[in-house]
Amino acid sequence: MRGTGSRFARTLGDHPSAVLLAAQLFAVLAYPFLTDSTWGRVALGVVQPGIVLIAVYAVRRTAALSWVAVVFGLPAVVFSVLEVVRPENDMIVVGSALAHVPFYFFVSYAMIRYLFADDRVTRDELFATGAAFTVVAWGFAYLYAAAQVVWPGSFVGAGGAGDRSWFDLLFLSFTTLTSVGLSDVVPVLPHARSLVMVEQVAGVLYVALVVARLVGLTVVGRGNR
């Protein structure tokens, strides 16, 4: 058992991008169960900072500056907890966005730089491709949360007018970034639409540059073998 545990820990240490991707997907599946109770909000207070810390750990394996991730990550951890405790406080929501947006965008930059660092595709780089994509979606979700505080009424949804929940905005971010267009949350004010258009461009460029390069290297590698 001890040998199995050590091998599992070593596998996780060798694939931090996989840990980050799994943590983010777990959070997506867990959010609907955690938002309607006190214990759920407490769990969110653990899950959200945990994802930030895992992201910092993943950046340590890349060529980016780890201390930058730490500088951005520490305020993000603090605001993750504050936002769970006081989600209705506009100042905390904006402060959380100011902390999380640069942090998640820096993490995505670090992972994309990691993906472009060499001409071979490793298993961890495959996980990093997915992790970087979800990190970008997380960053834009926080950006949208700040936008609806600064410009009230920026988004409407199937439930009518009023502020959208953070999970609604995360759903909008994922559907925008993947260009599937399935979201029932719609930007209606000019500033919100501008942000959504930027994310649409980011999603197209990610597929065109990152995913296409990964596929190309995989094909070339098989041809060489």
Instruction: Between 223 and 39, name the one with better pLDDT.
Output: 39
Q: Where are the domains of the chain?
A: 2-224
The pLDDT tens digits of the residues spanning 180-216 come to: 877 889 999 999 999 999 999 999 999 888 888 888 8
Of 99, 104, 180, 93, give the one whose Cα is nearest residue 135.
104
Which tokens hold the place of 58? 């993943």
Which tokens hold the place of 217? 């290297």
d(CA 77, CA 25): 19
Strand pairing category for 186-187 and 155-156: antiparallel
Q: What is the chain's mean pLDDT, rounded?
A: 82
Which pLDDT value is given to residue 48? 76
